[in-house]
Structure 1
């Protein structure tokens, strides 16, 4: 960090701390990656990504991954770690991330997790509930409905069956919505009801930092980032991935809309406009999810020194209730 932060850095004593996970959350395009890198450099520690789209090595521009230059500034994990052809569930992330953290905590007292995927964050911080067995014939029927009637029919049915899960889920991802429906149809219980059990105890403290800003400014940033993605070659990237569109990883904002363009369902300008609109909607749902946690301390992206002061105050009180 710059010399202006020397006084802050001198107040941090990593040898006196218990194992701690700093979690940086917030909506897409808010600046989570930039903050995580600054914190990783400041504390000389490593970053764990909890972005469910940045896992996949075939998807680059549309997932707003850190650049090669950014990746070189601090060790990152779970970036380009899996193929879109690999089934990688939230439960897989929970187990693999905890195993990795167990190793990293042997080198560092503090780690950083950053991402906008609320369910993945919760999986590590709170643990997942054991979900029920699913009637596979119901899954097949829902996939057939998706193929014949389209995603809107799935969205409508999920909204009616489990409105709580509907508000949380990525509504451009049909497989995530089908997951909610198949639980309701198989068990008669909402998937959201399985996501509210008592959280599991973790062998580390958790400090949560949330980033937010004026809504209009955030939406401007989102729109601008989509324009930059298009300039960087998102259309060409989506075209290369078109033969693999059957994989669940590609049922997501930024790719689905361009696949519709390739299918002659819309023109390019409308597809880009839909990417912006769906991304703004996604950002709103992300904020709704993260605001549920009263233990998250909220800042604006430019308040880096305030964030570090807050973290140092927490890190110096390892017996405080941080999660």
Structure 2
């Protein structure tokens, strides 16, 4: 590898593509540790539905930000940026390379580029928006955002209730469009970032997603969701795999319909991830079988 600066290898890509296995292989090769940038794997109470690394995988390389927080505690991308930078500073004292892995674009961006300093809205504002989502669905939030900030509405992932609610919170707290806080200067990092994306044929990826959902159900995802009913308004639980099963427990849909929706919504999420990371930074794409090419790319940077 060229240069004297420390390196952060960011492994990104859609869900179920094999990021965890690749991150572990890189960590073992470079004798280093892994930072998770998955917005749901932080939470101890959410395991099956978040596809956390298995105990065996966790033993193969040291991971950070897995089971690090309780779902009862709010943890934002800004919090992650602060904590991950502090951790990296310590790791880089004894290592030249650290691996980051995750499919949550906002959290990847938080660590690699920094986020604009967004204000926090009062808790009652979030509660009101969450109630609106529960009672009227995502369409009501989308229409509210469209009226208040048409610019952000056009560019945002408006199918993600977390993103829409966060934007509406900021608008309420400041009286300014959420889009006005974006596009500011990127924060300089004291390390180099090498971003590698994993991809595979879409049909193969979708089949892997379907199989993973079936395995999650067999592993007890429904029971996990039952234990989280008291926290169902938390942003991390307004997501694929949890929202659909809450709807089943509410009696709105059958279990068969819920599982079918999880598969469909996960496939849609994977498509959005691919689109996001293709636009993000200087990402070089590989399949999981292209280990030699991927390694050469990293070592030439």
**TM-score, normalisation: structure 1:** 0.85
Tell me, yes or no, if the aligned pair for 1:23 and 1:113 is still in contact at 8 Å. yes
Moved over 6 A (4+): none
Is residue 257 from structure 1 mapped to residue 244 from structure 2 by the alignment?
Answer: yes
Secondary structure of the residue that 1:291 maps to in structure 2?
helix
C-alpha distance in structure 2 between counterparts of 1:189 and 1:216, whole Å? 42
Alpha-carbon shift at residue 148 of structure 1 (Å): 3.5
Is residue 242 from structure 1 mapped to residue 242 from structure 2 by the alignment?
Answer: no
Is residue 216 from structure 1 mapped to residue 199 from structure 2 by the alignment?
Answer: no
C-alpha distance in structure 1 between counterparts of 2:243 and 2:255, whole Å? 12
C-alpha distance in structure 2 between counterparts of 1:88 and 1:42, whole Å? 31
Secondary structure of the residue that 1:113 maps to in structure 2?
strand
Tell me, yes or no, if the aligned pair for 2:9 and 2:195 is still in contact at 8 Å. yes
C-alpha distance in structure 1 between counterparts of 2:192 and 2:264, whole Å? 37
Q: Which of 1 and 2 has greater Rg? A: 1
Equivalent residue, structure 1, for 2:56:
69
Alpha-carbon shift at residue 132 of structure 1 (Å): 4.3
Alpha-carbon shift at residue 169 of structure 1 (Å): 3.9
C-alpha distance in structure 2 between counterparts of 1:168 and 1:301, whole Å? 30
Tell me, yes or no, if the aligned pair for 1:25 and 1:115 is still in contact at 8 Å. yes
Equivalent residue, structure 2, for 1:157:
144
Secondary structure of the residue that 2:239 maps to in structure 1?
coil
Give the count of matched residue pairs: 300
Alpha-carbon shift at residue 147 of structure 1 (Å): 4.3
Equivalent residue, structure 2, for 1:171:
159
Alpha-carbon shift at residue 297 of structure 1 (Å): 0.7
> Unpaired segments of 5 or more residues in structure 2?
none
Equivalent residue, structure 1, for 2:22:
35
Equivalent residue, structure 2, for 1:115:
102
Give the root-mean-square deviation of aligned CA atoms: 2.3
Q: How does 1:267-282 map to 2 (within 5 A)?
A: 267-282=254-269
Cα deviation, 1:282-304, whole Å, max 9, x if unaligned, reads: 11111121111351111112211
C-alpha distance in structure 2 between counterparts of 1:167 and 1:257, whole Å? 26
C-alpha distance in structure 2 between counterparts of 1:141 and 1:233, whole Å? 31
Is residue 59 from structure 1 mapped to residue 58 from structure 2 by the alignment?
Answer: no
Tell me, yes or no, if the aligned pair for 1:167 and 1:285 is still in contact at 8 Å. no
Tell me, yes or no, if the aligned pair for 2:142 and 2:158 is still in contact at 8 Å. no
Equivalent residue, structure 2, for 1:21:
8
Tell me, yes or no, if the aligned pair for 1:158 and 1:166 is still in contact at 8 Å. no
C-alpha distance in structure 2 between counterparts of 1:220 and 1:166, whole Å? 31
C-alpha distance in structure 1 between counterparts of 2:151 and 2:275, whole Å? 14
Which range moves more in the overlay, 261-270 or 217-226?
217-226
Tell me, yes or no, if the aligned pair for 1:168 and 1:289 is still in contact at 8 Å. no
Which range moves more in the overlay, 29-38 or 130-139?
130-139
Cα deviation, 1:47-77, whole Å, max 9, x if unaligned, reads: 0000000000111110000000000000100
Which range moves more in the overlay, 237-246 or 127-136?
127-136
Tell me, yes or no, if the aligned pair for 1:162 and 1:180 is still in contact at 8 Å. no
Tell me, yes or no, if the aligned pair for 1:91 and 1:128 is still in contact at 8 Å. yes
